[in-house]
Amino acid sequence: MPLLPILIVEDDNDLREALTDTLELAGYEVLTAEEGEAGLARLAQHRVGLVLSDVQMQPMDGETLLRRVKVDHPHIPVVLMTAYGVIEKAVAALHAGAAHYLPKPFEPDILLATVAKYMLPAVDDDAVIAEDPGMLQLLEMAQRVAQSEAAVMITGESGTGKEVMARYIHRHSRRANGPFVAINCAAIPEQLLESTLFGHERGAFTGAAAQHIGKFEQADGGTLLLDEISEMPLELQAKLLRVLQEREVERVGGKKPIGIDIRVLSTSNRDMQAEVAANRFREDLYYRLNVFPLALPALRERRHDIVPLARAMLGRHATASKRRVPTLTQAAADTLTQHSWDGNIRELENVIQRALILAPGDEIEPQHLFLPQIKRQELPLAANIAAPVAAVAETQVPTAVTDIKSLERQHILDTLKSSGGVRKLAAEKLGMSERTLRYKLQQYREEGWREE
C-alpha cells in the first residue's frame, strides 16, 4: 500500500535522528522539524500521513502544535511523545484530538506498531490496493501488459474495480501522459452511442446544433476505455471493429476519415465467450479486444485485501469530511474478513461510509459496520443502532432503524442525550463541527423533533 511521509517534530537532535533512522529502515519516508512553527511550515508544503511530535519543546510545545494541526489539518493523526512525568498532560491532549501518546523511553517495535495503526494511506479513488498473493500476481501481469500496445479486456463481477484496473494500466503505460477517456456503453442510449463514440458534424441529425468531438478523438494519444462493452448493440459493434482495424474514425455526417492513435481497453461483467456463442457479441470484435485477458477476482476471493481496502477507504472518506480517521478494532476487522461481499468493493465502500456515520469516536467496532450477519439482539445498546430501550419493559424488542438517514439521526440524538444536551461535547463525540450539529438539529425540529 502506498505511504505518505511521516513528519517528526522533535527538538532533541539525537532523538530526532534515532526516530528517523528507525522509520526509514522500516520503509517510511520521513520529514523532520526542530520545533512547532517549522513543523507547521512543513505541513503547508507536504502531504503527510502522520505527525510524531514531542510534547515539551520551545517556543511552541507539542500541545500547541496539536491544536494548530487540528484547526488546519483535522484529518491528520498526531502522536505525542512524552516523558513519564508529564503523562497527565498527554492524556489531556488525547481529548484535544491527539491519536495516541508514547511515553518515553519506548522500544522501536512499539513505535512501528503505533505508526502502522494510525498512519494515513496515500490512496485515492484510482489506487489499487493489493496484499493478497493472487492479486499481487495479477498486478504484476497488468504492469507487464501496460508497457505494450495490446488491447486488454478486463472481466469480473460488478463492483470488483475493473475501471480502477484500467486506469492502473494507463498510468503504467507509455501513454500515461496522454488522456484517459472512459465511456460506459450501458449508460448511454443506443441512439446516442454512435455520436458519443465517433462524434458528429453540425446538422448531421435533428438536434445536432454544433460539431461534437467523439470519445475516440478525445482519447487521441492516450487510452480509451470501453466500459461494459458487452452492452454495445450489434450494429455498432461492426462500426467499432472497422475503426479498430483502420485506426481512423468518421464522424456522423462527416465526409472524411480522421486518423487516431489510441490504446483500447474494455471491461465486462459477463461471460464474453457465452455472449459470442449466443450471437450477442461479434466473434471477430471479441478477439480484437481480447488480445490480453485479465480476470479480476471477487472480493471474497482476495480476503487479505479486505482490511487494507477498508482502512484506505476510512482514510479517504474521513479526510474528505475533515474528521479524524478512526481505526478498525480487531473485532471489526475480523467481521469484515468473514463477510461474503456479494457486492464486492462497492459494497465494502458503502459499509465503510455507514460505519463513519455510526461510530461516535475514534474506533470502528463490529456494530458500526451494520452488516446483515450481525444479529440485532447481540448489538450493545450503546451502539445506538436500535431505538433506545431504557425505561422500557425488558421484553420489548427495539425497533430496527434500517435507512441511513434515520440511523444518523438516531445516533446524533442519542449522543446529544448522553452528553447531557451539551452540544459542544456531543459535536466532539460525533466528530463534526458545532455548526453542522446545529444545522442537523434544526432539520430534525422541522421534522417534528423536540428537545427534552
- Tell me the pLDDT of the chain (452 aa) as tens digits: 557 899 999 999 999 999 999 999 988 999 999 999 999 999 988 889 899 999 888 889 888 898 888 888 877 889 988 875 555 565 565 666 777 888 888 899 999 988 988 887 665 556 788 889 999 999 999 999 999 999 999 999 999 999 999 999 999 999 999 999 999 998 888 778 888 899 888 877 777 778 888 899 999 999 999 999 999 999 999 999 999 999 999 888 888 899 999 999 999 999 999 999 999 999 999 999 999 999 999 999 999 999 989 988 888 888 777 777 888 899 999 999 999 999 999 999 999 999 998 987 788 999 999 887 544 333 343 333 333 333 333 333 343 334 456 777 888 888 888 877 878 777 777 766 676 787 788 778 877 777 76
In the 8-state DSSP scheme, what is residue 200? B
Cα separation of 13 and 83, whole Å? 16
Q: How many residues does the chain have?
A: 452
Show the cell assigned to 254. Answer: 462527416
Total Cβ atoms within 10 A of residue 58 = 8
Q: Which residue matches cell numbers 474528521?
A: 323
Show the cell assigned to 316. Answer: 479517504
Domains identified in the chain and CATH numbers: 6-118 (3.40.50.2300), 133-297 (3.40.50.300), 302-446 (1.10.8.60)
Buried b / exposed e along 252-278 (16+ C-beta atoms within 10 A):
bbeeeebebebbbbbbbbeebeebbee
Per-residue pLDDT, 381: 32
Asked if residues 223 and 181 have their Cβ atoms less than 8 Å apart, the reply is yes
Q: Residue 358 class from Cβ within 10 Å (0-12 exposed, 13-18 middle, 19+ buried)?
A: buried
Per-residue pLDDT, 146: 95
Q: Identify the CA nearest to 353 among candidates 388, 329, 320.
A: 320
**DSSP-derived pairing of the beta strands 248-249 and 258-259:** antiparallel
